[in-house]
Structure 1
Amino acid sequence: MEIYSTQHLTESPKSLNSIAHIEAFHRLLEDECFQRFEFKTYEEAYREVASYIAFYNERRLHGSVLDLSPKEYYNQTKRGLIPQREVRV
């Protein structure tokens, strides 16, 4: 299992769009992970959250990225199969 870095992100007050994405992810993490399991130890919770993050990035389909997983969307964009969208910050 791949271990993910936990790095605190700080956003400027003007970047509401990226804050909204983070809050949406936290809502999904709550609904799809935390509410499904009762954790007995920190290690158990860490393992499940890491597993969910891997699922979210590698297999979960996202409507905002053409119903692909983020990993697949990134790979197809990198290969030029999907044109990059302009991101306004």
Structure 2
Amino acid sequence: MGRPVICSDNGSQFISHVFEEACEELQIQHERIPPRTQNMSAHIESFHRLLEDDSLSKMEFEHYVQAYETMDNYMRWYNQTRIHSSIHYLSPIDFHKAHVETGLQPKKTILV
């Protein structure tokens, strides 16, 4: 299995030497989307919107641990329970299992 991949835009936080060094230290491959190709970040932008609407806008954190636990719980729910239409109304973890076992592919999407 290869290294985990993080895909980002070209924001200043992602082109910094500190970020690149952290990726190397954590053995994470960093890929950037080409400049001026906003449609390539549509999936993560959609996720950020869901995160904001489902969790962040409803909370006021009193300390870091509370924020961390809230995000950890949200990510577990998002990946293990929430169904996604583009992956046949399965949770990501169930889709991954089906993909490994049967070769199931995500639904084709058209970006406009």
Residue ranges of structure 2 left out of the alignment (5+ in a row): 9-31
Give me the CA root mean square deviation: 2.5
Alignment-derived partner of residue 70 in structure 1: 92
Which has the higher relative contact order, 1 or 2, with Cα contacts under 8 A spaced 6 or more apart? Answer: 1
Residue ranges of structure 1 left out of the alignment (5+ in a row): 1-6
Q: Where does structure 1 differ by over 4 angstroms across 4 or more consecutive aligned residues?
A: 14-18
Give, as a single letter, the amino acid of the residue that structure 2 aligns with 1:56.
Answer: Y
Q: TM-score, normalised by structure 1?
A: 0.74
| Residue 81 of structure 1, CA deviation | 6.3
Alignment of 1:1-89 (within 5 A): 9-10=7-8, 11-13=32-34, 16-80=38-102, 82=104, 84-85=105-106
Q: Point out the structure with the larger strand share.
A: 2
Report sequence identity in percent.
35
Are the structure 2 counterparts of residues 17 and 79 from structure 1 closer, same or farther at C-alpha, using a change threshold of 3 Å?
Answer: farther
The alignment of Structure 1 onto Structure 2 pairs a total of residues equal to 80
